[in-house]
Chains A and B, each alone.
Chain A
Amino acid sequence: MISKPRFPVSILDNYVSIVVNSEFYTDWAVFINKHIHFLVITFFLTGSLPLVGTAQDLSLRGRVSDATNGEPLPMAHVTVQLLKGEDELPKGTTTDDNGVFELTSLRSGSYEFKVSFVGYHTHVDTLSLDSSTPRLVENVALRQKDQALQELTVSEKRVRSDHPGHQRIEAEQISRVPTPAGSGDFAGYIQSQPGVVATGDRGGQLFIRGGTPSQNLVLMDGAHIFQPFHILGFFSAFPEDVLSEVDFYAGGFGPRYSGRTSSVMDIRLKNGNLYDPSWSASVSPFVSEFFYESPLWEGQSSIMVSGRGSLIESASDVYLQEQQPLRFNSQLVKLTNMGEHGPCSATLMRTYDRGKIDFQANDSFSWSNLVVGGRCAGVSDKNLVTFAETKLYISHFGNEVSIQDLPNRTSDITKFHFDVNISSAIKQWQFDYGVSVDLRYLSYSMPDLFTNVQANESMYTSSGGYISAHAPLGDQLSLETGLNFTSFIFRAQPSLEPRIRMSWNPGGKEQQELNAAVGIYEQAFVGLSDFRDAGTAFTAWMPTPEDDRRMQSRHALLGWQQQLGKRLDYSIEGYFKKIFDKPIAQWRTVAQSTTEIAYADGTVQGADIRLNYEGRYIYGSIGYGYAFTEMQTVQDHFQTWYGDDVQSYHPAHDRRHQFSAQLGFSYQQFAAHINWVYGSGLPYTRPLGFDSSLIFDDRVPDLNDEYGEPRIILDKPFNGRLPDYHRLDLSIEHGIPLGQTQLTLKAGAVNSYNWDNMFYYDVFNQRGVRQLNFMPYLSVKMESL
């Protein structure tokens, strides 16, 4: 029996009643009810203890950033040592993700203040602390060492993760995945990671650890972008040139992120260079792109502009056997201003995609994103506010599918968002909390798709917040408890999502770590797609069709990571997700997509293993992902169809085994990269055969005059498996300095050994739709030095 989590209606008025009235709830609410006492107690204990006796101490706090662009430098080392008391040990800390540090319990006096970070010149200064400025703010901008020295240190720069499910991706890593363009792309890199499944090389749909694309949260400098992946799977709106780093959470993410139940891709864009203008432009048969950054006021403000447009539609006519009806482009502008306490930035991003997933089909898809927003952040000298950040943005996503002879299906969502986030560090304790307000406008029209939700326009307002406490428990253990809450004004029931993460360093060694996370995740706005047919890229955004069946996921993760010497590290992580009330398309047997909505519950369990080698000139990595996704759905007609109300199935993205390997080298102006990926076959609904169905509906069909209605006799949905998928991409590049510029020539090939990879099987037309065959390319890139 599928359990159905429900909130009582009384929560709408006062969710505090959860704690009081425990008999009323089903298992979900009981779970919350049981644990909320623990959570509340934990918060109060962890929150109140460190406050005692801290107010009178002197403290030093600040933000460490890159001098050239103002970007924060996480994990930088900060130390102070009292100059007239050399017998006293130095005090030290490291910067957090925002580049912020805080040293507390300091005495009055003069200190040597030192900030260091690999690849950067060490900053040394003398500071005087006294009771007149009990909380001294000292921001530091570090200058990068020159290129030669960086090469020696880059391998030591990897930032360890202390969260399960988390991976920090830097632009340099992205450049290592062969991409048929002048620069690397986030889309190519993320698809090479275990646990990330792309059903094909078109459509821009990513399934992460059993979740569907609409369950992924993609943030760009904190602004939500709904579909940043282009229709040609190698590309996204984020080429390597514009990226600073990406925090990728495949699950178990903290309470700061809300509204999605599968994964988070928190993408931080580069700031434009504050001192030196630079540019690049490139062209390949797939895409052309340009990048420009420049100071507006030297050392104070900058601009970054980037754009790309596809060429594959025209280029495929010239040198490929099959025309690729795919077009996309994107434009990005970012302005940054360095304030006294921290940077403010404004960002504009626009994307457009149009094309066919199945080149022979009549369905043509298009979508666009428009994101406009701003963000300000800085270090505060207030007592309990170390770091504050505020964001305001508008994000619009529209998509459409046109099918011959049928009215277009359209769906649009516009989101207005404002939030304030605050970090407080008190002694060894860190508290993060924030509030947000959202306004969403949704409209959709699906005249022939989901018959019970054909067309609608609606507006939703929600407000929410989160709080988390990160508490070290001794030298080896740290615990982070958090809670996210969202209230949907006048509309849906509120959500309450507790999350806990912990890490343990056995023996206090940073080179090895066991980490774990559990949490509850809810999603009130769902993207509906009919993924029985992998050839779709249309998503209809709407509120959960039934308010008391909000999609929910519970995550549990356990991971181990270890550094073996300076160059080798590995990680193993197991995960378990339980999914409730996921809206899906109702199953049908006739040869048409008209359908209704049903719900599915399910579980995802699996493990990801990574092994990385980082040599001076050579790198290599191997990743393996195992996943087992099983869903259950109850639909009215199952009893007559199968003799059982409940059907279990493996959805179309349930790739059981995934293996990837990257190998490459980089020496002076030469670089070569190889990327090989393997994925076991994806599920599809297998036909038993075909016949012509004759209907005895108030009449007797005439066998000699009537053929009947062509019918597919289908096996249970998703009972078959497509062939395994594998592909080798490679590239080699050489940079040629030309005065103040550099010309980089890159040659490569997609699907180098021309493996016949099936995208999906079209049961209606009995043909396999193929991914790209062997495709050589040459790209040229000019850039300033």
Chain B
Amino acid sequence: MTTYPKYWYSILMVGLFIMGGLGCDTSFNPIMDDHKLNFSMYGTLDLHADTQWVRVMPLADQLIPRDIAESEVTVTLQNLETGEQTQLEDTLRTFPNGAHVLNYMTTQDLSPNTTYLVRAEDSKGASCSAEVTVPSSLDMPLVDYNQQEQKGTIRGVSEEPLVVANLHAVVQIASELGAGPEQDVNISFLYQIDQEEDLSYQFFVDLYGSLSKHLELNASNFVLVNDKQLTIATGSDDWPTYDELTKQEIHFPNFVSNVEGGVGYVAGIARRFIPLKSCYDQQGDLVPCPENRPVN
């Protein structure tokens, strides 16, 4: 009969003990929850807008938040010079990708050259805030625009540098075979603007030329413009410049951000929506057109 050393059984027992004792912790939370980033906050305080919009979302536990609970977040706007405080109302917005977000709004008038505090706080006391300075007023520019050629010059005066000169168009690329689907195009004219010492600025818009270049059209294609909108804006001093940022840096949570206790950016702007047409007074002199601000 075969006999085995006694220590063999000891080894076996120790092995079984270890096997039984290890690996019993089955809890696994893939998302880190002990951090200090409470909310994602994006928005603008636009001096010339009737309504201010700020998106405030808790950091989601999924890439596309498809389910959203009733908001327990209070978002306030406080004028830091007067102390006046307003609570924003929440609105639920659903996007085609199934994402749900909460945008907060107020019709409170803003004052130029004034700093505001946008603050969000939930029922558990978690909060984030952004200090935003609203720039001075921006006058409507003069537009000398040829409707036939869809070309023209935009001239104006601004106390502060322009941060936005954007043409937004809804277009279709077409050929002899027909037209393609509608697409949104944004073209910036900022690179053309060289603001003078007397604070005047000027830039030239060539609608079809810009679109052809942007869409890289060839000789057999042409573009149908279904809608177009030119916007210009001045921004507060902390307006982000992306020119020297890599794509990585643009997406760093703490890099392009003025939100304390969260991620995101709230901008102070003075924005104008400019119709692409020329307007004249009764004497036939070129004058600024009335603003063509879209209604939200």
Q: Which residue numbers of A lie inside 8 Å of B, CB to CB?
A: 565, 567-568, 588-591, 611, 613, 615-618, 620, 622, 637, 640-641, 659, 661, 663, 676, 678, 686-701, 703-704, 707-713, 715, 719-720, 722-726, 755-756, 758, 761, 763-766, 768
Contacts and interface: CB of A to CB of B under 8 A. Distances in A.
Interface stretch (B15-23, B74-82, B202-210, B216-224): B15-23
Given A640-B249, A689-B37, A693-B251, A661 B31 contact: no
Nearest to A710: B63
Given A611-B11, A715-B32, A695 B60 contact: no
Given A695-B250, A704-B103, 8 more contacts: A565-B5, A590-B247, A611-B11, A613-B11, A640-B249, A691-B59, A696-B265, A698-B166
Contacts of A565: 5
Contacts of B248: 588-590, 637
B85 interface: no
Contacts of B267: 696, 700
B53 A589 contact: no
Nearest to B252: A641
B23 to A, nearest CB: 4
Given A620-B11, A640-B249, A763-B30, A690 B63 contact: yes
A689 B43 CA distance: 20
A761 B15 CA distance: 30
B44 interface: yes
B266 to A, nearest CB: 10
Contact of B12 (A620, A691, A720, A758): A620
Nearest to B53: A703
Interface string B1-35: 01011011001100100110011011010111001
Given A659-B22, A692-B101, A761-B30, A613 B8 contact: yes
Given A637-B252, A768-B30, A678 B59 contact: no
Nearest to B233: A700
Contact of B15 (A661, A723, A764, A765): A661
Nearest to A699: B166
A589 B31 contact: no
B155 to A, nearest CB: 20
A676 B58 CA distance: 43
Contacts of B54: 703
Given A687-B32, A690-B61, A726-B23, A704 B2 contact: no
Nearest to B22: A678
A696 B240 contact: yes
Contacts of A567: 5
B63 A766 contact: yes
A36 B37 CA distance: 55
A700 B44 contact: yes
B265 A694 contact: yes
A764 B64 CA distance: 10
Contacts of B58: 689
Nearest to A721: B28
A762 to B, nearest CB: 9
B292 to A, nearest CB: 15
B246 to A, nearest CB: 7
B186 to A, nearest CB: 6
A233 to B, nearest CB: 19
B213 interface: no
B106 interface: no
Contacts of B97: 707
A659 B23 CA distance: 11
Nearest to A615: B4
Contacts of A618: 4, 8
B42 interface: yes
A618 B54 CA distance: 72
Interface in B107-160: none
A691 B186 CA distance: 23
Contacts of B163: 698
Interface string B148-186: 000000000000000111101000000000000000001
22 contacts: A568-B5, A613-B8, A615-B4, A615-B8, A637-B246, A641-B249, A663-B12, A688-B31, A689-B61, A690-B65, A694-B55, A695-B250, A696-B265, A699-B164, A699-B231, A700-B164, A700-B269, A707-B101, A710-B63, A715-B32, A761-B30, A763-B30
A721 B239 CA distance: 38
B2 A723 contact: no
A724 B11 contact: no
